Chains A and B, each alone.
Chain A
Amino acid sequence: MSLVLSETASFLQDQTQRFAREKTPTSHFRSVRDSENPECFDREIWKQMAEQGLSGILIPEEYGGSNFGLSGIGVVLQELGRTLTPSPLFATAVLGASLISKLGTDEQKKKYLPEIANGNLTCCFAFEEGPRHNPKVSEVTAEKKGEKFLINGKKCFVVDGGFADLIIIAAKSSKGTSLFLAQKDSKGIKVKEAKMVDSRNSANILFTDLEINSENVLGEIDNAQDTIEEVLDIARAAISAEMLGGALEAFEITVNYLKEREQFGVKIGSFQALQHRAANMFTELELCKSCVLESLSCFEEKSNDVPRIVSLAKAKVGETFHLISNEGVQMHGGVGVTDEYDIGLYLKRARVAEQIFGNSEFHRNRYAELTGY
């Protein structure tokens, strides 16, 4: 297994780093947030990201993507995570693209994947049913009625659910779990914006007798659970990469502050009480880098240990981003709790990202189970 970036990944990283610095520094996030734009992202920026090919990284070339793989989109998310860039990349280009690529019929792939790749179609994955991650669907049901299915129930905290054109719904069917595709404006769908602390888009979605035709079933009926688990792992690795970017940036902002701020006539970074905490955070970050690289590359290398490695990455990065965001605010002192300084923005994003598809405790539990205790 390689823990060093490939040439393609390095190229994507450099390209995205430049893009994020020029087009979407944290001031961009602030302007989107303060514009009261309910979509919580900037369509013009998203168009530019699609033009650079970012939305098609996980899509096969025959459907207009580049198929650069998870390592590719991982480094992109990491760089965008550094500047807290809000975009549909995670829900659309990771979750949507993966589910449709893996399970879609030829027709579905032709219909949706090129539109995702060119940035015209946004997706969300309506999966969670409660405030804490649970990989088993039980509340939302799909009932067969003639050739159609009727969907009922409520999904929670759907990332980008407030604006996504295409909703991919996981529902309990008679003998298992199934996936369905629905347009956001279909009859029987009620989207309620869940305004989150990190100012990203999230929604609770209510389904009341939503009718789904057979051509909008994604994959085999009753048989989606394995692919869902697989795609959840892809998404966990991807969000871990974003979190690593956020953690790295929050750490660097904090260390820079320690080098600037003076008290008692000296830089506060000269105090050992702060130095040692910073050095410990640096050490944890070094471990996180390795876990994230490994989790991104283990899919391509078809490791039989993917779930364990992904849980390792999500748990480790979750703990570390948690630590750094807390310590970052504390080390900034009073200005750390003001909206003017960026460090608090990372604290907010850290907590929301931690919850996405399982927090550290969830993944420690999963790691233990997979290791046999």
Chain B
Amino acid sequence: MTDLALFREETRDWLETNCPPEMKKPMTPHGMTWGGRNCKFSHPDQELWLKRLGEKGWTAPTWPKEYGGGGLNYDENKVLAEEMANLGTRMPLASFGLWMLGPALLEYASEEQKMEHIPKIIKGEVRWCQGYSEPGSGSDLASLKTKAVEDGENYIVNGQKVWTSYANECDMIFTLVRTGAQEPKHEGISFLLIDMDQPGVETKPIKLISGASPFCETFFTDAVVPKKNLVHKLNKGWDVAKNLLQHERKMLASMGLGGSKAAGKGKTGSGLATLSKKYVEVKKDKIVDEGLRQKIAKCDMNSHAFSLTLKRVSEEAKNSNNGPSAATSIFKLYGSEHNKQKYEIMLEAMGSQALGWDGGEFGPEELAITREWLRTKANSIEGGTSEVQLNVISKRVLDLPQ
């Protein structure tokens, strides 16, 4: 038996023994574990599952063991993901620390900073949010004005961040702050880790068109940040920010692997078609409205093609060993635009039944679709608008003139 086959067997055994029963059931709307000092679990099995995986380092399977990670290589990590998918286990931890901050810290932080923050991210003990955008700095992020001024052993931070996801539930925030001149704008920015549990930091949820408030405004008023929380060099925070973005895309690429598996397995059916069939005329299993049927097929094909592309790019990255290719810049663009289209088709199929706001005349699934449709409108704005992505592809990939 090869080492990898042996690893697969051991992994399967371990998962079967250690995954609590509730965590083998499909995810529920409030069943996601986000971790943190004030973490609330909707079921005790969530806590157990996080604890067991966290101790093994398998919430961050490829991170180095010395900081509490799983230390797995590419192939082992793939095996783990496949075995978790086969067993139908839930994701143990959703976390911006795992997806964004951690990988950037591994590359840019000091040894001391890594030892302090990374194990807590892996175990889900600290919940992080991202403090990038400001009221006047959206697409033009580098024009940001939140200021950090040296004061003895500390920085004193003043300013405002916006669109801070879940800031009201988070423990720490990783921020871009201005420590140098406003111009040239990229060169006066530093990457600072700020504890939110202090009087100088306030958050205020923003009510969205969907009725939910996943985003906040975050205000810094003479917030105190020890100098040891500066990551990388002073005024070199933009390097960290760019690197972090790369990891965001890499994360997206690996998350797509599950989807391609489903799409590649024979007659798996189509979620979009199954939903639509409840609302439109169907004859012999076929959606009668040919216009709608073609739209659904086009959308399903785009999903299929997109997951194949995520898989291809991840295979290419493995073979070339130099990280995600230039093609990764398409993921943000395509993924968010595609998701918006998918919800528009759902609305088209469901008609007015998809346009309810509240009350018993609409099913919970229908109401959720309405809210989620509104939520998708932010997909192509957050994390860099589609237009910014198109600019990036034009300039960095196609090398079109400025």
Contacts and interface: CB of A to CB of B under 8 A. Distances in A.
Contacts of A304: 266
Interface string B375-396: 0000000000001011101110
Contact of B308 (A275, A291, A365): A291
Interface string A256-274: 0011000000110110101
A295 to B, nearest CB: 10
B98 interface: no
Contacts of A364: 294, 297-298, 301
Contact of A305 (B265, B270, B390): B265
B390 A280 contact: yes
B264 to A, nearest CB: 6
A275 B267 contact: no
Given A270-B401, A278-B398, A283 B334 contact: yes
Given A373-B273, A373-B296, 17 more contacts: A3-B308, A3-B311, A3-B316, A4-B319, A275-B390, A276-B390, A279-B389, A279-B393, A282-B393, A287-B309, A294-B308, A312-B301, A315-B301, A364-B298, A368-B273, A368-B294, A373-B287
B233 interface: no
B401 A266 contact: yes
Contact of B311 (A280, A283, A290, A315): A290
Contacts, number: 135
Interface in A358-373: 361, 364-365, 367-373
A365 B273 CA distance: 13
A63 B334 CA distance: 46
Interface of B: 264-270, 273, 276-277, 285-287, 293-294, 296-298, 300-302, 304-306, 308-309, 311-312, 315-316, 319, 327, 330, 333-334, 387, 389-391, 393-395, 397-402
A286 B391 contact: no
Contacts of B393: 279, 282-283
Contacts of A259: 399-401
23 contacts: A1-B264, A3-B316, A4-B315, A258-B400, A272-B394, A274-B400, A275-B394, A275-B398, A276-B394, A278-B394, A278-B400, A291-B304, A291-B305, A293-B312, A294-B264, A305-B266, A315-B301, A364-B294, A364-B301, A367-B297, A371-B267, A372-B267, A373-B286
Given A305-B266, A364-B294, A372-B285, A287 B398 contact: no
A40 to B, nearest CB: 33
A373 B311 contact: no
Contacts of B301: 312, 315-316, 364, 367
A373 B286 CA distance: 4
Nearest to A309: B264
Contacts of A367: 297, 300-301
A103 interface: no
Nearest to B333: A283
